[in-house]
Amino acid sequence: MKLGYDVLNLDLGAEADRIAGRLREILRDLSRRGMVVAMSGGIDSSVCAALAVRAVGKDKIFGLLLPEQDSSSGSSARGRQLADHLGIECELVDIAPTLAAIGCYRWRDEAIRRVFPDYDGTWKNKIVISGGLEGQVNHFKLIVQTPAGETKEARLGLREYLQIVAATNFKQRIRKTVEYFHADRLNYAVVGTPNRLEYDQGFFVKNGDGSADLKPIAHLYKTQVYAMARHLGLPDEICSATPTTDTYSLQQGQDEFYFALPYRQMDLALWALNHGRPASELAAALGIDTTQAERIYADIQAKRRTTRYLHAKAVLVEAVTELPG
């Protein structure tokens, strides 16, 4: 079969039914009554919420909107729209005061000022990735924008990069804390929302959005998640939403921060690598040269190696054989 985007086609009705059936089985195994879903307004959490409703009904799903000071206003609006569309109970919790209290913004701003001394906390900012597709080691750049609209960028040193990322990871971990509070309160399971591309490439925060009781779409490529959203009849605003991190105050696409290519091309590259297709076939499918395709494969493999820690369970010094796994 010639490599093309049709390899990602699914029988969406059958797959939705299969996922819903597995969710019911998992809930029984976990002895939980329903599911908690944090809804960012993005495609992944929206599809997870819709599949959860398909599995157990709207009365057993609890939605959460968890914005903070850097969140896009559109995120909560789309999340609320989804809750209304699905008919589920939903609560908004602004986590900004908690993040401020534990130093999230302070630690981030301190690191940014080491790069841009004039930064005063009112500037917008984001981190972008660079280098991998040029055959270089991936490195990160900090981009800031002053209130007057002036944009500056600089390569990030390791110390500053790690501190900014560690600080922003507070956001995902506090969100997960809120999710588990409601899960404990309701005897529900927490839904994790990564798609296959994110799960494979380690695009999540350990004990943050990477933590969950079940992950309904971790086997679906992002292209398939968009197709599933349309199949499930989700609102157009959600089905057409551009993937963003919604973590930094400057708008940031996932391909800017982490992935080598936009999601549709990354899906095809990951599928091709997973199915043993040579780089020359990927190059022809994407309209690039073979060297670039080889670099994409190398970047995927490098991310798998460097994010192995994120997937790892706590390591016991000695196995406790009386307990599973």
Write the pLDDT tens digit of every residue in 303-318: 999 999 999 999 999 9
Q: What is the per-residue pLDDT for 206?
A: 97
pLDDT interval class at 135 (50, 70, 90): low
Q: What is the per-residue pLDDT for 113?
A: 97
Q: Does the pLDDT of residue 112 top 60, yes or no?
A: yes
Q: What is the per-residue pLDDT for 250?
A: 83
Q: What is the per-residue pLDDT for 253?
A: 64
Q: What is the pLDDT of residues 159-192, one digit of tens each?
A: 999 999 999 999 999 999 999 999 999 999 999 9
Report the pLDDT averaged over residues 10-20. 98
Q: Does the pLDDT of residue 136 top 60, yes or no?
A: no
Per-residue exposure over 281-308, b if at least 16 CB sit within 10 Å of its own CB, e if not = bbbbbbebeeebbbbbbebbeebeeebe
Report the pLDDT averaged over residues 243-261. 73
Q: Does the pLDDT of residue 254 top 70, yes or no?
A: no
pLDDT interval class at 279 (50, 70, 90): very high
Distances (CA, A) of 207 to 12, 34, 174, 175: 31, 21, 10, 10
Lowest mean pLDDT among 75-79, 139-143, 156-160, 256-260: 256-260
Q: Does the pLDDT of residue 133 top 70, yes or no?
A: no
Average pLDDT, the chain: 93
pTM above 0.75, yes or no: yes
- Dihedral sign of CA atoms 290, 277, 47, 199 in order: negative
Q: CB-side exposure of 317: number of CA atoms within 13 Å?
A: 0
